[in-house]
Chain A
Amino acid sequence: MRRRPAGYAPGLVEQELQREVERTVVTLDVNGRRTPLLLPVHKTLLEVLREDMGLTGTKHGCELGECGTCTVLVDGKPQLSCLVLPLRVEGRAITTIEGMAAGSELHPLQQAFAELGAAQCGYCTPGILLAARSLLEVNPKPSRDEIREALAGNLCRCTGYVKILQAVEQAALTLSLSRNAGEGESIR
């Protein structure tokens, strides 16, 4: 069942575990806050966010980079946190779902997802919200096909994607209206 490293022999792992696990200090900038952490070098960003920083809003569906569930933003671009080692993103701006709302004020995407029923079980929702936010920052008026393309790496098993597409479109409209009204600054 579980994949074993090549050359595995019983006993090897035992020896391995008795050795000191190599750790390193990494300073992560998550949701605008810089936190120094002492981490085993092999831990993924997903694991560090969830287990060391208590940011359990980032979910996991496969831990192999296949489902998009663990998407976070690194310098505004979607990244699969299950495939990212923290050292690689040291000093870069990491955004998780916990950093999406401005205090208790929901981001227009979050508002639209809630209003239009785009979250059913809600498990894929954080990843999709962040990927959609990244899209709208680059392309404020995406066509339906552009939204599909941008979110194609995020699987959802509940919604059939219909209400998610509607919600992203509604949020794009809300954002563009607020920009036109000159209120863009207040919406993160």
Chain B
Amino acid sequence: MRVVGQPLPKVDAGAKVTGQAVYADDVVLPRTLHCKILRSPHPHARVLSIDTSAARRIPGVRAVITGADLPVKFGILPVTQDERALEHEKVRYVGDPVAAVAADDEETAAAACDAIKVEYEVLEPVMTIEDALRPAKDERIQDYGGPNNIHKLVALEFGDVDGGFARADHVREDVFFFQGTTHLPMEQHSAIAAYVEGRVTLWSSTQVVHYVHRALAKVLELPMNRIRVIGAAHGGGFGGKTDPFAHEIIVCKLAMLTGRPVKCTLTREEVFYAHRGRHPVLMWVRTGATRDGRITSMHFRSALDGGAYGSYGVASTFYTGALQPVTYDLPAYRFEGCRVFTNKPPCGPKRGHGTPQPRFAVELHLDKLAAELGIDPVELKRKNFVQPMSRTVNWLRVTSCGLEECTEKVLEASGYRSRKRTPGHGMGFAISSYLSGAGTAIYWNDMPHSEVQIKVDRGGVTAYCGAMDIGQGSDSVLAAIVAEELGLEPKDVRLVTADTDSTPIDLGSYSSRVTFMAGNAALEAAKKMRAMLVEAVEAGGKKFEDVSFEQASVLAEARFGTLVTAGSYTPPKIAGPYKGSGVGPSPAYSYSACVVDLDADARTGEVHVNKVWIAHDVGRAINPLLVEGQVEGSVYMGLGEALMEEQEFRKGLHKWPSMLEYKSPTFLDMPELETFIVETLDPEGPYGAKEAGQGPLLPVIPAVNAAIHDALGVWIDETPVTPEKIVEAIRRRDKGEPARYGPRAFPQIPYPPVIKVEPPAKDMLVTPSEI
């Protein structure tokens, strides 16, 4: 292959290094009005009245709207349509949008927001998981879900869990807490809408133009063909721009009312409150194992602090349970999950969506189990690795799996096995798996998840796809695939992406799906185009390779007329036969292994990460430069979550809603990093490729905590690991208490009776579908 496998620069690199990439806030339209949103100052309150009359009188104010103007509810999941663009009945977190203004300039819009009088009846806020499990003092946050402020309960059992524990030589239980974190994209969310000829056009910094399109059609009560959503150049998402947002709907409504373009760019403080980030999750896990370290059974419980709205929360809840058997071969597995509503900004998907939390818990739990059994933790884990071409106890289909190879690479390179045991210095090891795209759509349907069209005329090639490049390089992957098939260079391929008017559907940049799904669609379209070109050239008695692309395209256009091909990708139907099986299946899973080397000071609790080794099974690296970039960025973000990042609230207010106070790693905090790309050539991925953007984050966090234990002999069973927690754990150990810091108990949760699911037959074949 000429293009695939080459470390080529991104196709948009030139625009990005010269400041010419046009992000949503850079879009300038004549007569643009500026929008500001008035948000709730209370975490929980009924809205009694909203008086906008003073705001309307301010010169330069062109429109003021409230919830009465946008009453239709929306939400990313069909089962949780619980949000309004503006809330006129009840606010559920500090920051809930209440009114919006369009004015000639930003200052006037802000002044008009200040002039809006809102009368609230303040309600008792619910701020913790424990609070949410108790009856509400005033009233519940949402009027649906389980008892009290419970949103979702799930209980599933695969195989004979009790029998597995009975068979075990040793059983261990642990409790862990994973703190919530936010995405902190460098770009503040921004959207600008225009209303011309009865059609709305929105440019937005979104990860999924299609979901914004759907939400706009619903709330604005317009047919989808009257709405166009364009993904502007994207300044970072990490999952945080995957929901449709209030400001996107608001600017469209204001543009419709004023007949002028309307722009809204969130302040950094608003971005912290918009959130949809990592759920704080409390976890309990019990595992049984034989004397030689073979797992016989696992029981895992999670309690997710969801914030005020549903967002992706039902999916997040299932994800805290779904992938445990995709990493380790569990003969029997019970999962009980719970998500609660609290009066905080809603949580949703952040890089790894619902899986870094259980990954953290299970990896540390197995480290402790191994220690009790007197087995090296790496060996215990290895004994239980999931195998390629297998089916898990919860019916997930594993095809390619480079877990062994990844593990060997990082152990070898880091010298983990022969490390010197000196106090204050430690190394930790952990593994992970992640999806290459969700196997089922958010709204159930049988249509393709991605579609690509290719047009060739007079030597020019254009590929059209709804996929959104959020910086990960999805445009470059599409160009590489089309170029590979047509005998061109990526720069020869023009791309039109993420525009609901001109591109066919793609479900967007989340769940690590674009390379796999849009990549396969592009491959199909390109192969069809190549076949037409080849046929036309050969009809003239020549070989495709012997003529220029331009000549080939002229011959083909003369022979067939307009040269257009299309390809699409629909994931194989591989979900198991049970309710809730839609979360977890993926056409392929990526695998990673990580070793962290650090120094930790027993006296001050300070941690200094010296080096990280990470190996990632990406199936095939279509562009190794971009794969490395995804892996490096994942490691960085994992280190931030392990050691500093915290989305924490006090009295309903974010404790540190600024980039200075919300600590994230700087140039000075990032350690040396060695990345290994492992290629297992997945049978269904395009050229064998799988995901790279999320999986490598997962093992980093438990590897840090394992290394701290290796250095100091104490377990920090929650994130982030701060010096205070380390010093406290050491103090407890010195007092003769358990040498750990973390949650002491898991709350009583009214899980429903478990749904028992018969595991798939042992000899059930794994047959990759033909692409």
Q: Which residues of A line the B interface, CB within 8 A?
A: 1-2, 4, 8, 10-11, 13-14, 16-18, 50, 54-64, 66-67, 69, 96-98, 100-101, 106, 110-111, 113-117, 119-126, 129, 147-149, 151-165
Contact = CB atoms under 8 A, between A and B. Distances in A.
A116 B10 CA distance: 9
Contacts of B94: 1
B629 A157 contact: no
A123 B235 contact: yes
Contacts of B54: 10-11, 14
B541 interface: no
B18 A97 contact: yes
Contacts of A57: 18-20
Given A1-B273, A121-B186, A123-B235, A161 B659 contact: no
Given A17-B108, A116-B9, A121-B236, 10 more contacts: A1-B39, A56-B22, A59-B23, A66-B658, A122-B235, A123-B187, A149-B668, A151-B667, A158-B471, A160-B635
B28 interface: yes
A10 B113 CA distance: 10
Contacts of B628: 117, 162-163
Contact of A123 (B20, B23, B268, B270): B23
A123 B18 contact: no
A144 to B, nearest CB: 9
Q: Counting chain B CB atoms within 10 Å of each CB, which of A1, A62, A67, A106 scores highest?
A: A1
A66 B660 contact: yes
A110 B19 CA distance: 10
Given A56-B22, A117-B10, A158 B236 contact: yes
Given A101-B18, A154-B667, A158-B633, A121 B187 contact: yes
Contacts of A61: 186-188, 268, 659
Interface of B: 7, 9-10, 12-23, 25-26, 28, 39-41, 54, 57-60, 94-95, 107-108, 110-111, 113-115, 117, 183-188, 233-238, 267-270, 273, 470-473, 625-626, 628-629, 632-637, 658-660, 664, 666-668, 670, 673
A115 B625 CA distance: 9
Central interface residue in A50, A54, A158, A163, by most chain B CB within 10 Å? A158
Contacts of B658: 62, 64, 66
B270 A1 contact: yes
A121 B625 contact: no
26 contacts: A1-B39, A1-B94, A2-B113, A2-B269, A11-B54, A17-B108, A56-B22, A56-B26, A57-B18, A59-B23, A59-B235, A64-B660, A67-B186, A117-B10, A117-B13, A117-B626, A120-B236, A122-B235, A148-B667, A154-B667, A155-B659, A157-B637, A159-B633, A159-B636, A160-B634, A161-B670
Nearest to A156: B186
B95 A158 contact: no
A16 B114 CA distance: 13
A128 to B, nearest CB: 9
Of A8, A17, A153, the most chain B CB neighbours within 10 A belong to A17
A64 B272 CA distance: 14
Contacts of A59: 23, 186-187, 235
A182 B58 CA distance: 63
Given A123-B235, A148-B668, A159-B632, A115 B111 contact: no
A165 B237 CA distance: 23
Given A63-B268, A110-B18, A116 B625 contact: yes
A164 B635 CA distance: 15
B186 A155 contact: yes
Contact of A14 (B58, B636, B667): B58
